[in-house]
Amino acid sequence: MNVITGVSGSGKTSLVRDVLLNSFRYESAINCKSISGIEEIDEMIAVDKTPLAGSSMSTPATFTGVFDEIRKLFAATHEAKSQKLKAGDFSFNGKSGQCPVCKGTGEIKVSLDFISDVSTVCESCSGKRYQSHILKIKYKGESIFDVLEMSVKEAMKLFTDLPKIFQPLSILDEIGLGYLRLGQSSATLSGGESQRLKIARKIIESKPENALFIFDEPSRGLHPDDLVHLQRLFDILIKNGNTVVVVEHNPIVISKADRVIDLGPKGGDKGGKLIYQGNLKGLVDCERSVTGRFLVM
């Protein structure tokens, strides 16, 4: 875990984005004289806190791919087979199973003049998103809507013997997202939640083992409790063999660094110089470093 520190404007983001990321992308030294070692890295991934791509129909379940497996389970029940229902019929995005009135959203948007849009629960499906014959199909006593209403933690109990569903959910739980509901709209997620969900998907889908992950001030705007989850996420990535590079001001995050690169001495024209690189102890002892002075070991 590498942390880039330094006062605002000292060039931290320029170093990771303009130099490191660009040099990797173009396979040559960009904005620097030379660069070595990038050929050892399979993939470089910059993680930001922008909202998740996709419409309001994107949910933790669809985003992590577990919903595909859950729909197959419902389609494999005796009841579904006897009605010739397919996995696609259990999608709230598909015409065949969704409530035709609210189109699977469970709510009706009403545009009022002078007032922003107001949503009301769809009266046709009572907010349950599906047609009634789909809701009658049960897996272990739960309908597809019941499952979408479950938190990640609750769903882990239901699918405990099904690794394809259980494992992705357990990753979400490990990084502190166990309280999210499977069918919760991605539009309701905070920047920190979106950030962790994106990485979780990456871990679930491609299981990176030799990638370099870049985080630019990931702690900004996070609740202190979330810092623990963020660190847990870094630990998982590193345990799997990846490298993490974090631009950060937060002393708690800095204190977890294996290696620190401190830039300075000041911002703007007076920045861009390497003040220190090495382990954390050395940074604290480095008299030239502003960051070092603020760290208590």
DSSP-derived pairing of the beta strands 211-216 and 243-247: parallel
Establish if 124 lies at the interface with Zn ion (CB under 5 A).
Answer: yes
Shortest Å, Cβ 92 to Zn ion: 10
The residues, any chain, with a CB within 8 Å of residue 39's CB and separated by 6 or more, are none
The verdict on 190 binding Zn ion (CB under 5 A) reads no
Q: How far is the CB of 253 from Zn ion (least distance, A)?
A: 44
At residue 187's C-alpha, the angle toward residues 181 and 189, to 5°, is 55
Asked if residues 260 and 295 have their Cβ atoms less than 8 Å apart, the reply is: no
Closest to Zn ion by CB, 1 vs 122, is 122
Q: How far is the CB of 89 from Zn ion (least distance, A)?
A: 16
For the record, the structure tokens of 212 come out as: 């370099």
Give least dist CB 151 to Zn ion, A: 23
Identity of the residue, 124 or 243, whose beta carbon is nearer to Zn ion in the bound complex: 124
Distance CA 177, CA 82 (A): 37
Q: Which of 3, 102, 212, 254 binds Zn ion (CB under 5 A)?
A: 102
**Which of residues 15, 47, 70, 99 is near Zn ion by CB under 5 A?**
99
Q: Is 101 in the site for Zn ion (CB under 5 A)?
A: yes
Looking at the Cβ atoms of 99 and 203, the one nearer to Zn ion is 99
Name the nearest CA neighbour of 139 among 167, 161, 170.
161
In this chain, which stretch among 1-9, 99-107, 154-162, 215-223 interacts with Zn ion, using CB under 5 A? 99-107
Q: Is 243 in the site for Zn ion (CB under 5 A)?
A: no
For 42, list phi and psi in degrees, rounded to 5: -75, -35
Rounded to whole angstroms, the Cα distance separating 108 from 86 reads 27
135 in contact with Zn ion (CB under 5 A): no
Q: How far is the CB of 135 from Zn ion (least distance, A)?
A: 11
Is there a contact between 92 and 57 (Cβ–Cβ < 8 Å)?
yes
The minimum distance between CB 170 and Zn ion, in angstroms, equals 32
Q: Which is nearer to Zn ion, 28 or 126 (CB)?
A: 126
Q: Diameter of the chain by CA atoms?
A: 75
Specify the stretch interacting with Zn ion by CB under 5 A; choose among 26-34, 101-109, 113-121, 245-253: 101-109
Beta strands (DSSP E) in 106-227 are: 107-112, 115-121, 211-216
How many residues would you count in the chain?
A: 297
Using the rule CB under 5 A, is 122 a contact of Zn ion?
A: yes
Q: Which residues bind Zn ion (CB under 5 A)?
A: 99, 101-102, 122, 124-125
